[in-house]
């Protein structure tokens, strides 16, 4: 079963999903090992691998380790066109639809399309929406876009609706990695009520309670990264909170 079919199937059956975000720059090989071990034990659903900026050239090695140590699908979550690896299973082909930077909407995609065409990667189109979260995040700075204000549920809802109408297969509400505040639950509820495609929510989720709240508000797939960099042992608690929501 493809990664997208699995996400869709679980979403349609109200089975909440957890993805662990692994930023290869932020973890050394021992920490990637520890994350892999805890993630496998906890039965998480996917790994997302990527970052706004990768400096250390560890992407391939990181994916190799995750694939060797677990059977969990690895999905590229690229901050830019340099972050490609044939070792992954799939790629979130992100169009930053909350912004008005043409490079992030379509420009980078044109550059990477021929590479993806000949790769074995499953390409999953995704409307990526950056939501204001209390302080400037790396993705905001690097993408040179303005996030949607956190109290503008109507803008978020219409943006997500337009993304679905354009044929995108997923919508991702992103507060930004390490965000001060996660995406508000009222915004998640509003966006979910207007969509028939799966909804991903991530950024600033640090506790199982927050993950559970985000699921109950309507997220089909929750993404957590920073909290596990400090404490990989938290993965099992977070997975239980998500899977029981």
- Which residues of the shown chain bind ligand 1GP in the complex (CB under 6 A)? 21, 174, 177-179, 202-205, 223-227
Cβ-based nearer residue to ligand 1GP, 123 or 211: 211
What is the chain's alpha carbon radius of gyration, rounded to the nearest angstrom? 16
Cβ-based nearer residue to ligand 1GP, 167 or 239: 239
Nearest distance, CB of residue 118 and ligand 1GP, angstroms: 27
Nearest distance, CB of residue 70 and ligand 1GP, angstroms: 19
Cβ-based nearer residue to ligand 1GP, 26 or 169: 26
Cβ-based nearer residue to ligand 1GP, 204 or 232: 204
Q: Which residue is nearest to ligand 1GP (CB)?
A: 202
Nearest distance, CB of residue 245 and ligand 1GP, angstroms: 17
Nearest distance, CB of residue 149 and ligand 1GP, angstroms: 18
d(CA 40, CA 46): 10
Alpha carbon of 13 to those of 9, 92, 94, 212: distances in Å? 6, 22, 25, 17
Nearest distance, CB of residue 68 and ligand 1GP, angstroms: 24
Cβ-based nearer residue to ligand 1GP, 124 or 205: 205
> Under a CB-based contact definition with an 8 Å cutoff, are residues 166 and 201 in contact?
no
Nearest distance, CB of residue 181 and ligand 1GP, angstroms: 10
Cβ-based nearer residue to ligand 1GP, 168 or 235: 235
């Amino acid at each position: 079963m493809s990664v997208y079919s699995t996400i869709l199937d679980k979403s349609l059956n109200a089975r909440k999903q957890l993805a662990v975000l692994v930023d290869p720059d932020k973890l050394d090989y021992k920490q990637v090992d520890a994350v892999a071990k805890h993630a496998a034990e906890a039965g998480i659903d996917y790994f997302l691998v990527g970052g706004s900026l990768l400096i250390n050239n560890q992407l391939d090695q990181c994916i190799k380790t995750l694939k060797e140590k677990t059977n969990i699908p690895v999905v590229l979550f690229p901050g830019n066109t340099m972050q490609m690896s044939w070792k992954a299973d799939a790629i979130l082909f992100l169009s930053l639809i909350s912004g008005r930077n043409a490079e992030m909407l379509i420009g980078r995609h044109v550059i990477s399309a021929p590479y993806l065409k000949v790769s074995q990667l499953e390409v999953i189109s995704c409307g990526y929406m950056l939501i204001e979260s209390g302080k400037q995040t790396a993705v905001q700075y690097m993408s040179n876009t303005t996030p949607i204000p956190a109290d503008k549920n109507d803008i978020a809802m219409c943006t997500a609706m337009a993304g679905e109408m354009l044929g995108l297969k997923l919508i991702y509400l992103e507060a930004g990695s390490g965000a001060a505040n996660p995406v508000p639950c009222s915004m998640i509820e509003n966006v979910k009520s207007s969509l028939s495609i799966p909804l991903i929510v991530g950024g600033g989720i640090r506790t199982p309670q927050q993950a559970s709240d985000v699921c109950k508000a309507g997220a089909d797939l929750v993404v957590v990264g920073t909290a596990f960099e400090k404490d990989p042992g938290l993965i099992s608690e977070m997975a239980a909170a998500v899977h029981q929501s």
